[in-house]
Amino acid sequence: MFWVSRLCDAAAVNIRQISMGLLIYRLTNSPIILGGLILARAVSLMALALYAGAIADRSQKKYIIQIAGAVDVFIVLVVFFSLISGYLSVENAGSWWVLIAVSFIDGLATTFKGPAADAIVVEVVGERLITNAVALTQVGQNTLRLAAPVIAGAIIDHYGFEVAFEVMAGIYIVAVVFLIFIPPSSKPVPSDRPIMNDIKEAWGYITKEKHIFLVLIVVLAITLLSMPYRQLMPIFTEDILKVDATMLGILQGVSAGGAIIGGIVIASLPSNRKRGTLMLLSGLALGISLVFFSFSTSLSLSLAMMVIVGLGQAGRMTLSVALLQYYTRSDYRARVMSFYGIEIGLSSLGTFFAAALAEGIGVEWAVGSLAFILIAGIVLSFFLMPQLRKLD
């Protein structure tokens, strides 16, 4: 039930990402406002992420995920009614503020849902199977990433954004309902201590455990430098490749296809073998493929590069989460994953920076330059961080 709920949530998230980004870019034709959409979400992610992890360690994680899911339903319906009422339109200049506002609220919901959903997995499957479980979950989510963006693009092209958000709301509702049937997986650990003390304690634990600290640092760098392409994809499809929303969905989908292959490969590997090296190689594959994608004007080459990008993303996401959960003590997991959540917020700052660069020098150089830096950073990590490379 939990697996199905997470897959429904992933499907809705993928539809929302393509719909929100493309909608605000068509309303404004501005890379900087598209970046602002991501920045609004990042601000809320970073503001409360550490508190969210501490609260998840003290509370029943299932209920946190349910409440956050209900908030997701609410914000999608706000956009839906804004569209069908005609308020959110090109003719109504400045109406895009609605998308910025709901993006901020979405960030708040994700802030609490992320650490709870990540931390609950190991309670369900146990430590020994965590890598396989995370990998298989990634395969399921990436299967939806293969289909959901294409379906979203086709719906937008043929029926409009209103129907896309209506479908999204229905999927979010299903995700919340399925959680009802999941029994509580663990007893919350109550505490009378101030939450800030828990956060400081978690930070002290992270800095003391060098394996965890190094994984977080490297994941931050990879995410910061590689993720902007995804949020800025509407600019590539509208201005560089000059294709419709369906093809935007296909580009996202083939990336998911590569991620599926990567997830299956990782899930089939012997447990706890050279995961640090594989994570670094995933980052290297990401950087190289993004350089080629950034400067491509050929749809065929862009599609091919998206497959490799997907392979790299699968390795980065699966192995980083598996390493963090494997090396983290159970009473710290949600708080450590909340630091991981802050890194996602920081990566959105990277996207905003890339969007600002795209306004001035073009999206190709903005994304391509970050990819070049990523390649250089990974190569240096191989030589300067042998302890990370040797992590199993």
The pLDDT tens digits of the residues spanning 7-28 come to: 888 888 889 888 999 999 999 9
Closest residue by Cα to residue 45 from 337, 368, 268, 275: 337
Distance CA 190, CA 198 (A): 12
Q: DSSP code of 390?
A: T
pLDDT score at 371? 94
Q: What is the structure's pLDDT at 332?
A: 78
Averaged pLDDT, 35-57: 77
Q: Does position 237 have pLDDT exceeding 70, yes or no?
A: yes
Residue 126: the pLDDT is 60
Gap between the Cα atoms of 292 and 288, Å rounded: 7
Q: Which one-letter DSSP state was computed for residue 240?
A: I
State the pLDDT at residue 90.
Answer: 83
Coil, helix or strand at residue 328: coil
In 3D space, the residue among 116, 21, 184, 187 whose CA is nearest the CA of residue 340 turns out to be: 116
Arithmetic mean of pLDDT, 88-106: 90
Q: What is the structure's pLDDT at 25?
A: 92
For residue 296, which phi and psi values (nearest 5 degrees)? -85, 135
Please give the pLDDT value at position 153.
Answer: 92
According to the model, what pLDDT value does residue 162 have?
94
Q: What pLDDT is recorded for position 325?
A: 79
Other C-beta atoms closer than 10 Å to the C-beta of 159 total 12
Confidence of residue 129 (pLDDT cuts 50, 70, 90): low
- Is the pLDDT at 260 greater than 90? The verdict is no
For the chain, what are the domain ranges? 2-180+195-389
Unique residue bearing structure tokens 């958000």: 165
Task: Report pLDDT for 96.
Answer: 92
What does the chain come to in residues?
A: 392
305 vs 266, more confident: 305
Residue 352 CA neighbour count, 13 Å, CB half: 15
Q: What pLDDT does 124 receive? A: 63
Q: Residue range 275-301: average pLDDT?
A: 92
Query: What span, in angstroms and rounded, lies between the C-alpha atoms of 329 and 203?
Result: 13
Tell me what percent of the residues of the chain surpass a pLDDT of 70. 86
CB neighbourhood size of 135 (10 A): 25
CA distance to 140, 144, 290, per residue, from 84 (Å): 33, 27, 37
**348-369: average pLDDT:** 89
136 compared with 197, residue with greater pLDDT: 197
Q: Maximum distance among all alpha carbons in the chain?
A: 59
pLDDT at residue 351, rounded to an integer = 85
* Average pLDDT for the chain: 84
Supply the DSSP symbol for 345. Answer: H
Q: How confident is the model at residue 321 (pLDDT cuts 50, 70, 90)?
A: confident
Using CA atoms of 49, 309, 26, 243 in order, give the dihedral in degrees to the nearest 10: -170
Mean pLDDT to the nearest integer, 57-73:
82
Q: From start to end of the chain, where are the E strands?
A: none
pLDDT of residue 27: 92
pLDDT category at 130 given cuts 50, 70, 90 is: low
- Confidence at 344, pLDDT banded by 50, 70, 90: low
pTM of the complete model beyond 0.75: yes
**Which amino acid would we find at residue 291?**
V
Residue 382: the pLDDT is 84
Q: Given pLDDT bands bounded at 50, 70 and 90, which one contains residue 113?
A: confident
pLDDT at 272: 61
Q: Which of 185, 174, 171, 181 is nearest to 56 (CA)?
A: 185
To the question of domain 2-180+195-389 being in CATH 3.40.50.970, the answer is: no
- The whole-number pLDDT of residue 63 equals 82
- Per-residue pLDDT of 173-218, as tens digits, reads 998 888 787 766 666 555 666 767 777 888 888 888 888 888 888 8
